[in-house]
Amino acid sequence: MLATRWSAMSSPLLLLVSVVFLLHVLSPVSAQDSCPEGTSEDMCRSSAGSPICSDRGECVCGECHCDTMTCRSKCDTYRFCAECLAFGTGPLASQCETACGQVSVEKEDDPDVSDPDERICAFLTDGGCRFQFVYGRLGKLRVRRKLECPKPAISFSPAASEDNEGPVDAAAEDRNGATTGDSLGRSPPDSARCCRLGAMK
């Protein structure tokens, strides 16, 4: 009789515990709730009232995690305008002023990211030359003044080859695996390389 009574009392109790557990597990919990004390979304803003992570990422415990696809699309969006406005080359060269009328370009010797809202991008032209630019707000681009082009292969005279003297053929070194990257000694640029300094991760 005692066992029957305990069974009758424990069924509602187990049901109640199960419901409370399920509500706790299934209830939406903000990522911010599990963060250390003192962190807030304000830490993911470049200035008071500015968008969280510049609308290009997600704020997790006071740190921005960059939306890579957004970054890539912006680099790709400005790529051909940067090339045609700065160098007069690329697919938009013949219609550059019409296609890129809203974009302004400023040439610099060595553009670098100077603002948390800026990104740096690097691409290769059809001729294999590397160009780099920085973009920020309002469609303003700062483009590296000079294209970085691979050096032409150097032919050797038989005498120089026998004596192991003379300039080194960069292309031959690449074929032999002695160097990595392009003939300028740099790693090939990611066609959509964008970086965010500051809080963005």
pLDDT tens column, 93-136 = 999 989 998 888 999 888 888 777 788 888 999 888 999 998 87
Q: Which tens digits make up the pLDDT trace of 26-77?
A: 444 444 456 777 777 877 876 777 777 776 777 888 777 776 655 555 788 8
pTM here is 0.44
- Total domains in the fold of the chain: 1
Cβ-based neighbours of 87, under 8 Å, separated by 6 or more: 125, 131, 147
Distance CA 136, CA 74 (A): 10
164's tokens: 């192991």
DSSP 3-state of 194? coil
Q: What are residue 144's DSSP bridge partners?
A: 108
Rg over CA atoms, the chain: 29
113's tokens: 């990211």
Q: CATH number of the domain at 86, please.
A: 4.10.1240.30
Q: Is residue 164 part of a domain?
A: no
Q: Is residue 180 part of a domain?
A: yes
DSSP 3-state of 192? coil
Q: Is residue 186 part of a domain?
A: yes
Q: Which tens digits make up the pLDDT trace of 129-150?
A: 999 998 876 668 999 999 988 8
Helix (H) or strand (E) holding 57: strand 57-60
Domain extent at residue 110: 52-152+170-201
